[in-house]
């Protein structure tokens, strides 16, 4: 299975966002926003990854694709 750059980037964003949320206590609103955006980006990337896997499977199984 190949590593998708989008999934890897979303994982990095999520980890950084959670780290910012844990470490930085000065800008609390900004931290919560970054955490939320990071988790949303991670969820979207996983959804796109699953969708791309499904489309690849459909392409492989249909004989009429060029």
Q: How open is the CA angle 66-49-13, to the nearest 5 degrees?
A: 140
pLDDT band at 37; cut points 50, 70, 90? confident
CA dihedral (32, 6, 3, 13) in degrees, to 10, reads -20
What's the whole-model pTM score?
0.46
Condensed to tens digits (0 to 9), the pLDDT of residues 12-33 reads 777 777 776 666 666 677 777 7
- Contact between 45 and 12 under an 8 Å Cβ cutoff? The reply is no
Cβ neighbours of residue 48 under 8 Å, at least 6 residues apart? 6
19 vs 55: which has the higher pLDDT: 19
For 9, other C-beta atoms within 10 Å of its C-beta total 13
């Amino acid at each position: 299975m190949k590593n998708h750059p989008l999934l890897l980037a979303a994982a990095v964003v999520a980890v950084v966002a959670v780290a910012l949320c844990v470490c930085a206590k000065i800008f609390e609103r900004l931290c919560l926003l970054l955490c939320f955006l990071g988790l949303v980006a991670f969820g979207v990337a996983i959804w796109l990854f699953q969708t791309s896997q499904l489309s690849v499977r459909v392409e492989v199984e249909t004989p009429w694709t060029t």
